[in-house]
């Protein structure tokens, strides 16, 4: 028994010594300046965190401040339609953070809210207005959405980040933090070598991975603005969503209950929420039985939720011109600014209600008038 314990102790000592050296070296080679400024998951790919879920998980500590803030939540259409810098420019006296994560469903949106709450003080929570972009794709059944071969069945992308570095442990009741959220920055400090190595490896192998996976290169904004969706592509997209949602014609009932829980959770924390009924192209809404089913249920759901304190609703479904979309759900870059202005207009009453400061409406109005109106 003794030789094993001695060898274990020697290994532990060598591990600590070696890791200390690697940690110091990693900070020299890759400085820790990746989360400066407002949070914006659109910048995740150029940060040390690489992916949107990891960015949200690791960088959220910045949201624990008493400053008024707007946090954008949803899937990739929120990221494409409400660009952080454009919304921020319209709301100069409020911190605008984009925590939308591509491929999210409402369960994952709720998890992002939980992650934010974990690191926020009660005061910070009261100064947070969430914007959740809703459309039928956000209501994909968990059993269909989070059941791919590359993950433990049921794990969301956020769950994967929770477990990745051992900050959380898996239990029968879901993920439980091993590292108290208040020590998140310590955890991020300690895993810096892993983050740096991951970044360096991905950069070095980017072209090989692109070649092997056969994924096309990302489009430029100009190409996106010129995109036209052909009838064949429309059919392909509709088929994709029927498969993705876990049903060809019915949106998961469970997901609507999850939305309600998310709204409740925000309200209980003292925050506010703006539910944005996001548009999809007219051809898409006409051709999708899922959308029709969603529409009926969502109209009544929104009417019900809107009656709650701290909850407001913005309907943007009229912005559904086919020519304004580059695919089945994402708006073209040229319309993002119009969408941002419409969002800020909808946010205005909520911000006014929330803030007793007499300057607030004037600031919002000034911002809107400087960029014109829809």
Q: Binding to other proteins by residue 241, rule CB under 8 A?
A: no
- Least distance (Å) from other proteins to the CB of residue 236? 9
Supply the minimum distance, in Å, between the C-beta of residue 18 and other proteins.
Answer: 5
232 touches other proteins (CB under 8 A): no
Least Å distance between CB 170 and other proteins?
5
Check binding of 193 to other proteins (CB under 8 A). Answer: yes
Q: How far is the CB of 195 from other proteins (least distance, A)?
A: 9
8 A C-beta contact, residue 355 and residue 93: no
Residue from the set 136, 146, 165, 339 that interacts with other proteins by CB under 8 A: 165
Pick the binder of other proteins from 64, 198, 264, 277 (CB under 8 A).
198
Q: Confirm if 225 and 334 have CB atoms less than 8 A apart.
A: yes
**3-state SS string for 108-172:** HHHHHHHHHHHHCCHHHHHCEEEEEEECHHHHCCHHHHCCCCCCCCCCCHHHHHHHHCCCEEEEC
Q: Judged by CB under 8 A, does residue 4 bind other proteins?
A: yes
Binder to other proteins among 182, 209, 304, 308 (CB under 8 A)? Answer: 209
Burial class of residue 172, CB neighbours in 10 A (0-12, 13-18, 19+): exposed
Q: What are phi and psi of 116, to 5 degrees?
A: -65, -45
When asked if residue 201 is in the footprint of other proteins (CB under 8 A), the reply is: yes
152 is a contact residue toward other proteins (CB under 8 A): yes
Question: Footprint of other proteins on residues 49-108 (CB under 8 A)?
Answer: none
Q: Residues 6 or more apart from 238 whose CB is under 8 A from it?
A: 284, 287, 288, 328
Q: Identify whether the C-beta of residue 339 lies closer than 8 Å to the C-beta of residue 324.
A: no
Between 197 and 366, CB nearer to other proteins: 197
Closest to other proteins by CB, 5 vs 228, is 5
Contact 352, 364 (CB under 8 A): yes
Q: Any contact of residue 178 with other proteins (CB under 8 A)? A: no
143 binds other proteins (CB under 8 A): no
Nearer to other proteins by C-beta: 182 or 209? 209
| Contact window for other proteins (CB under 8 A) among 28-36, 168-176, 281-289, 295-303 | 168-176
Q: How far is the CB of 156 from other proteins (least distance, A)?
A: 11
Choose between 11 and 296: whose C-beta lies nearer to other proteins. 11
Asked if 13 interacts with other proteins (CB under 8 A), we say: yes
Q: How many Cα atoms are found within 13 Å in the side-chain-facing hemisphere of 81?
A: 35
Using CB under 8 A, which of the segments 1-9, 130-138, 223-231, 347-355 binds other proteins? 1-9
CB closer to other proteins out of 4 and 358: 4
Among residues 357, 305, 314, 361, which one has the least CA distance to residue 127?
357
**Which of 18, 67, 186, 323 touches other proteins (CB under 8 A)?**
18
> Is residue 7 near other proteins by the rule CB under 8 A?
yes
Task: State the nearest-atom distance from the C-beta of 189 to other proteins, in Å.
Answer: 15
CB atoms within 10 A of CB 62: 16
Query: Residues near 185 by Cβ (< 8 Å), separated by ≥ 6?
Result: 61
Whole-number CA gyration radius for the chain: 22
- How many residues bind to other proteins according to rule CB under 8 A? 37
Q: How many helices, marked H, and strands, marked E, lie in the chain?
A: 17, 7
- Residue of 28, 36, 212, 217 that binds other proteins (CB under 8 A): 212
Q: Which residues contact 149 (CB under 8 A, 6 or more apart)?
A: none
d(CA 238, CA 243): 9
- For binding to other proteins (CB under 8 A), which residues are involved? 1, 3-8, 10-11, 13-15, 17-19, 22, 149-152, 155, 160, 164-165, 170-172, 191, 193-194, 197-198, 201, 209, 212-214
């Amino acid at each position: 028994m003794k030789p094993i314990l001695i060898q274990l102790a020697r290994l532990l000592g060598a591990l600590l010594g070696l890791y200390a050296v690697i940690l110091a070296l990693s900070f020299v080679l890759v400085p820790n300046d990746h989360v400066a400024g407002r949070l914006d998951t659109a910048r995740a790919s150029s940060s040390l965190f690489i992916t949107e879920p990891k960015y949200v998980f690791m960088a959220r500590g910045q949201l624990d401040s008493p400053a008024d803030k707007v946090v954008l939540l949803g899937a990739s259409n929120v990221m494409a339609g409400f660009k952080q810098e454009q919304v921020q420019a319209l709301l100069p006296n409020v911190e605008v953070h984009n925590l939308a994560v591509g491929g999210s469903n409402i369960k994952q949106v709720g998890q992002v809210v939980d992650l934010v709450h974990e690191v926020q003080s009660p005061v910070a929570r009261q100064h947070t207005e969430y914007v959740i972009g809703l459309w039928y794709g956000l209501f994909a059944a968990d059993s269909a959405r989070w059941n791919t071969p590359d993950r433990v069945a049921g794990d969301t992308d956020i769950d994967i980040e929770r477990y990745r570095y051992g900050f959380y442990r898996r239990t029968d009741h879901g993920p439980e933090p091993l590292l108290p959220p208040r020590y998140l920055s310590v955890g991020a400090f300690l895993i810096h070598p892993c983050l740096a190595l991951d970044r360096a490896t991905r950069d070095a192998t980017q072209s090989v991975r692109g070649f092997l996976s056969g994924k096309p290169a990302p489009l430029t904004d100009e190409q996106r603005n010129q995109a036209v969706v052909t009838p064949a592509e429309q059919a392909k997209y509709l088929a994709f969503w029927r498969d993705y949602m876990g049903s060809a014609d019915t949106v998961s009932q469970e997901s609507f209950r999850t939305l309600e829980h998310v709204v409740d959770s925000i309200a209980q924390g003292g925050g506010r929420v703006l539910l944005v009924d996001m548009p999809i192209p007219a051809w898409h809404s006409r051709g999708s039985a899922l959308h029709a089913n969603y529409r009926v249920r969502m109209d009544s759901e929104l009417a019900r939720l809107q009656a709650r304190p701290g909850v407001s609703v913005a309907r943007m479904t009229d912005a559904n011109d086919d020519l304004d979309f580059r695919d089945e759900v994402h708006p073209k870059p040229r319309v993002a600014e119009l969408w941002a202005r419409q969002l800020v207009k909808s946010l205005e009453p909520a911000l006014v209600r929330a803030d007793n400061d007499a300057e607030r409406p004037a600031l919002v109005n000034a911002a809107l008038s400087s960029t014109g109106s829809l």
